[in-house]
Each structure stands twice: as structure tokens, then as C-alpha cells.
Amino acid sequence: MLTRRGFAGFASCAICSLTGFLAVDAGAQTPPAATPGVKRRMLGQTEGPMPGYVTITAEVEIEPGMLVGRHTHPGIESGYVVEGEIELPIEGQPTRMLKTGDGFQVPAGVPHGGARSGGKPVRLVSTYIVETGKPLASPA
């Protein structure tokens, strides 16, 4: 079973992750060290939508000028830009400039990253539907 403690540092994924990428295993007993330039807050977690998967919702704040390293997830990421702007390159798709109010989806296993733009932090809320027992994010 996934625990809040096991995912306390899971959002080394800013949309998922920054340079100095950290992957977190679903069964991890100790959270990884905080990633400089990123604040993370887990908002909720539930088993499902079917056996072998967990749904996680998190808020992520990225400081101005931070780069998000290329990474993948073992499931779908759906997100929403609460405040600010961020450039989102998703492999196989044109790079998008997202602003407050924009939503995005990243298919399972597809490499993506990002670049912060503007002089203010960007705040995102992302929901991950990922396989239980696999790292939430892995470098790509």
C-alpha cells in the first residue's frame, strides 16, 4: 500500500522533476531530499482506478528560471496551471507554452520536461494515475 510518507518527496517531478532528478519508489520508506527550487505538497491519494494503480494529486511550485529535466511516469499525468507560465515539451508533440488556466496531459511512458518562463513562480496541480510499486518518475 502506498503511504503519504512514501510520497512526501514524490514530486521531484515539478511537472515532475528538476535537474538533479530524483525518482521515488512507491514503497519507499524514507522520502528523498528536497529538490532546490521546487516546493511540493501532496493533496490526495487513493487506490485505483483499478487494482495495481494509485491516483495521486499534488501541487507543485517552481521558482523562476528553474528547468524541469526530461522524465517519464509509469502512468498518465494530467495537470493544470494555477498560476504563472511554463514551456512544456512532450516527445512527439509540439512544445506548448502553458499559462494560468491551461491544462495538459502526458501519456504514460512519454518523455517530457519543461522550462520556467517569466519572473514569478509557476504553480501547478497534477494528477497522476500510475502503477503501484513503480517509481513515480524516472529520468528520460
Tens digits of per-residue pLDDT, 102-118?
999 999 999 998 877 67
Rounded to the nearest angstrom, the gap between the alpha carbon of residue 102 and the centroid of all alpha carbons in its chain is 16
Name the CATH superfamily for 5-139.
Answer: Jelly Rolls (2.60.120.10)
Q: What is the pLDDT of residue 11?
A: 35
User: What is the CB neighbour count within 10 angstroms for residue 48?
Assistant: 11
CB 69 within 8 A of CB 12: no
Q: With 0.75 as the threshold, say if the pTM is over it.
A: no
Domain extents for the chain? Answer: 5-139
Cα 30 to Cα 34: distance, rounded to the nearest angstrom: 12
Q: What is the pLDDT of residue 19?
A: 31
